[in-house]
Each structure stands twice: as C-alpha cells, then as structure tokens.
Amino acid sequence: MTNKFKFLLSGVVACTLCASVAFAATTSAPAAPAPASVAVVDVQAVVNASPAVQALKKEQEANAKDLITFIEKARKDVAATTDEKKKKSLEEKYNKELVSKREKYEKSYTSKLSQIDESISKKIAETARAKGYTVVVAKGAVLYGGADLTAEVKKAVSAK
C-alpha cells in the first residue's frame, strides 16, 4: 500500500506542478510594446524651404506669362481679321491651342508636385528613422510634446 500511495502521491504532485506551470504561463502579462517616440514636423515650413518647390513656382509663373502672351496675340489676330468665317475659325483654333497648352502645363505641374510630395515624405521618414522616432505628426496637429525635426528635414530637403 505504501508503494501505491507513493505512486499516487507523486502523480498528484506532478499534475499539480503541471497545472501551476500552465496557469502561470497563461496569466503572465504579455510583453508590452516598446513606447512610441513621437516627433513633429512643420510640413509647410519644409515645403516653403524646398528648392524644388521654389523652382516649380517659378515655372508656374513663366507658364502663366506664356499663356497671357498667347491670349494677347490671339486677340490681336482675331481682331485684325475682318472676314467672319475666318474670325470664327481663328477663335476656334486659338481656343483649342489654349486648352491644349493649359492641360499640358497642369499635367506637368501635377506630376512634378506629386514627385516633390513623395520626396519630402521620404526625407521626413528617413530623418525620423535616423533619429530613432517611430511616429511623426504634423506640427499643427500637436498641442504639446514631440521632438521638432523641422530644421533637420529642411536641411535634408535642401541638400539635393
């Protein structure tokens, strides 16, 4: 009887030990994620300091002047024509050219603006990663806190 008792007692102890290990494994707190480190960037200041944005603004101004010159020339040509059929034909021709030029300029502007936006976003991400930040928020959206990366991002954008 003592051997049976010892065997039974060792089985109970083993089961209790296994149950306590299993209970401890299921009730232990999960590992907490690393705290997020937050940075802020004044995106508008970065955009205004970007040489690519400044070049795009100059290009837009030149395109606007080109369109104004084109319109003035078209008006003069149409006004100088006395035949109504020719006048109407010239107006249609110049309107088509104007629409074509405007669409070309808008398409170019949109494409370049998209490239600039992508480039600035990459520079923000690269700067944040290099400094060890996991979250970057626009400065205007934050009331308090966050390390300001604006100066570093401006340098990175201007370094091209």
- What residues does each domain of the chain span? 35-158
Cβ-in-10-Å burial (0-12, 13-18, 19+) of 46 comes to buried
For 119, residues 6+ apart whose C-beta sits below 8 A from its C-beta are: 52, 157
Does the domain at 35-158 match CATH 2.60.40? Answer given as: no
In angstroms, rounded to a whole number, what is the distance separating the alpha carbons of residues 77 and 75? 5
**Interatomic CA distance for residues 15 and 139, integer angstroms:** 58
Confidence of residue 9 (pLDDT cuts 50, 70, 90): very low
Average pLDDT over residues 42-48: 93
If one compares 149 and 20, the residue with the highest pLDDT of the two is: 149
Tell whether the model's pLDDT for residue 147 goes beyond 80.
yes
